[in-house]
Amino acid sequence: MDRNTLTGLLLIGAILIGYSLWMQPSQEEIEAHERANDSIENVQAERAEREAETVAISPREDTVEQVTSTLDSTAQALQDSLDRIRHKQRFGSFAAAAQGQETVHVIENDLVRLNISNKGAAPVRGELKEYVTYDSMPLLLFDESTSKFNFLFWADQNTELASSELYWTPVEEQMTSSKAVYRIYGQTEQQYLEVSYGLPEDGSYLVDANIEVVGMDNLLRASEDMFELSWELQAPFHEKSREQEQMKTTMYYKYMEDAADYVSEGSYEKEDLEATIQWVAFKQQFFSAALISELGFSKEGSSVETIELDDEEYTKGMAATMGMEFGNDRNPSFPFQIYLGPNHYQTLKNLEIGLEDQIDLGWAIFGWVNRFLVIPTFNILDNNTGLGYGIIILILTIFIKLILFPLTWKNYVSSARMKALKPEVDELNKKYENKDAMQKQQAVMGLYRQAGVNPMAGCVPMLLQLPILYAMFRFFPASIELRQESFLWAEDLSSYDSIYSLPWEIPFYGDHISLFTLLMAISTFFYSKYNMDMSGGANAQMPQMKMMIYFMPFMLLFFFNSYSSGLSYYYFMANVITMIQQFVIKRYFINDDAIRAKIQANKTKTKTKSKFQKRLEKMAKNRGYQPPKK
């Protein structure tokens, strides 16, 4: 190695040693570095410890989850076993039907849609497809929340079961759009109870129903040959006038050998039925649901009831409980029908079971007038003219007034004679002004007898018209034909018309103004006043009649303001037509001079005292009065 090389190596070594000494950390830097290394080691140690703990704990958590799952499964199995035991104790041979899932089947035709649930094999919703409510909603007679349809029977000798507690099995091959069949099975498939519903496709409102018992001799109580059918529903509001609809809602029923009867519309009560029942009806103003049996429901345990409800969405609650006797057949059945439809007189009459009797047309002669005169005439006009119901009512009014024209004539002639005697009656009133009323009345009656005038002659024609007036009072509010039919400003002739809604309700009047009622009251005032003027002196003896001219129309405003606008329209037109008839009679057929001449001629004839005149004179004589001298 030469000298230059040695010198270079020494220099390089010196440089490296010097650089190392210059770059060496201070004591503080060394201590900080050691602290950092210690922290890293601590973190790594903690992480390793946690991982070790996690590895140790995980197997125990997995074990707890497995144990919990096992316990839950065991508890559920135990609960299921307990439920099966309870169901077996409660439902006996029908325990398998105590659990299930509810399904609904719909049967329908062009008029009725009926929903039937497998829970209880019961109808749960009834809709009339051709009608809507006042506010244009589907018209439901009942739905799932308002109807409880159920029948009770005895099983396994001592267990009372309700159909609504069981899930019935649909017989799939018989489930169609017009038929539904459900069964609950006993110990085998050859033992079952079957409930079926069928809705004819020809536009009928009748649902054919049947309960059949097959091969159940050893499962149903041997001594029990009767099921108990019960139906409870809350009747929803359908109409504009809630007050009128509620008043017309009640339970009707008919015994096999008797006329229809009903629970009082103004009360809430329960009535036990006392004979075999042909039908019961849940009646509202224009629609009904009815249970019908050709065999008859047994009276045992049977009852009907109306129930007051707090819910303002419903008119009343109604309930019926009916006995169903099955007889002694090996596989007995009990057929019955359910009517879901309108209270249309001819529709109900065609059923030939008296169901039309639930339509309130009036009693005795008033009902006869409606059944044999008003309804046939109305139907002829309705079916053959194609006119609106406002015009039909007008034609009906004219027709009835023509029938009553002879009575109107008689009444007018009597009033004309009374008017002809008015001057002489006024003289008698002055003559006996300060004397006893009995004397004055006797003198006036003597004048009438002498002139051949009967003051009561005008009353008889009026009395003969009353059956028709009252019949129409019953006919219009009960006629579903007028429901939701408009005329002029009235949007529904079966309910009230309103031209103005008041900001408050007036007691006994309402919160609206009915124009047809107002017109009817005004026409009544003028009609009464006209008749009062025509009667002349007769009414001078009865000043209270003058007060009635003003009082009666005023009362009619209160009474009819919330009533059927069709009825107010009829009475208004009847008054107008009657006044026209009287005007024509006076103008073209009655001669006042001829009437007065005839009265004077009658005075010269010998008169036989009437029984009324004799009684009046006898009363006066007993009180010490002498008859007036001629």
Task: Identify the H or E element spanning 576.
Answer: helix 565-588
Least confident of 279-288, 339-348, 498-507: 498-507
pLDDT in tens, 517-572: 999 999 999 988 877 776 654 554 556 667 777 788 899 999 999 999 999 999 99
pLDDT at 617: 63
pLDDT at 26: 57
For residue 59, pLDDT over 80 is answered with no
Q: Is 332 exposed, middle or buried (0-12, 13-18, 19+ CB in 10 A)?
A: middle
The three-point CA angle 194-196-197 to 5° equals 165
Tell me the whole-structure pTM to 2 decimals: 0.77
Task: Identify the H or E element spanning 378.
Answer: helix 375-385
pLDDT confidence of 457, banded at 50, 70, 90? Answer: low
φ, ψ of residue 128 to 5 degrees: the values are -100, 115
What average pLDDT score do residues 7-31 get? 57
- Enter the tokens of residue 312: 């303002």
pLDDT at 590: 74
pLDDT confidence of 19, banded at 50, 70, 90? Answer: very low
pLDDT at 296: 92
- Enter the tokens of residue 448: 């009438």
What average pLDDT score do residues 360-388 get? 90
Helix, strand, coil percent content, the chain, rounded in steps of 5: 50, 25, 25
pLDDT confidence of 430, banded at 50, 70, 90? Answer: confident
pLDDT in tens, 506-531: 988 888 999 999 999 999 999 888 77
CA dihedral sign, ordered 438, 443, 444, 448: positive
pLDDT confidence of 52, banded at 50, 70, 90? Answer: low
Among 592, 534, 537, residue whose Cα is nearest residue 426? 537
pLDDT at 540: 46
The tally of CA atoms less than 13 A away on the side-chain side of residue 31 is 3
Among 243, 571, 544, 589, residue whose Cα is nearest residue 416? 589
What average pLDDT score do residues 388-392 get? 94
pLDDT in tens, 317-326: 999 999 988 7
Measured distance CA(74)–CA(81) in Å, rounded: 10
Q: Is 424 exposed, middle or buried (0-12, 13-18, 19+ CB in 10 A)?
A: middle
For residue 399, pLDDT over 90 is answered with yes
For residue 616, pLDDT over 90 is answered with no
- Residues 156/162, Cβ–Cβ less than 8 Å: no
pLDDT at 537: 45
The amino acid present at 505, given as its one-letter code, is: E
pLDDT at 35: 58
pLDDT in tens, 206-251: 999 999 988 877 666 544 557 899 999 999 999 988 888 999 999 9
Structural domains in the chain, sorted by start: 97-359 (2.70.98.90), 366-621 (no CATH)
Among 297, 149, 332, 292, residue whose Cα is nearest residue 207? 292
Task: Identify the H or E element spanning 180.
Answer: strand 179-185
For residue 276, pLDDT over 70 is answered with yes
pLDDT confidence of 16, banded at 50, 70, 90? Answer: low
pLDDT in tens, 412-426: 777 777 777 777 777
For residue 114, pLDDT over 90 is answered with yes
- Enter the tokens of residue 81: 């076993």
- Residues 289/281, Cβ–Cβ less than 8 Å: yes
Measured distance CA(307)–CA(602) in Å, rounded: 66
Among 309, 237, 316, residue whose Cα is nearest residue 282? 316
Tell me, what DSSP letter sits at residue 382?
H
pLDDT confidence of 179, banded at 50, 70, 90? Answer: very high
For residue 28, pLDDT over 90 is answered with no
Average pLDDT, the chain: 81
For residue 628, pLDDT over 60 is answered with no
Tell me, what DSSP letter sits at residue 220?
B
- Residues 491/485, Cβ–Cβ less than 8 Å: no
Among 314, 316, 296, 298, residue whose Cα is nearest residue 306? 316
Tell me, what DSSP letter sits at residue 143?
-
For residue 487, pLDDT over 90 is answered with yes
Helix (H) and strand (E) counts for the chain? 16, 20
pLDDT confidence of 161, banded at 50, 70, 90? Answer: confident
| 613 vs 436: which has the higher pLDDT | 436
Q: Which residues of 26-45 are buried (b: 16+ CB within 10 A; e: fewer)?
A: eeeeeeeeeeeeeeeeeeee
What average pLDDT score do residues 330-340 get? 89
Label each residue of 448-480 as H, E or C. Answer: HHHHCCCCCCCHHHHHHHHHHHHHHHHHHHHCH
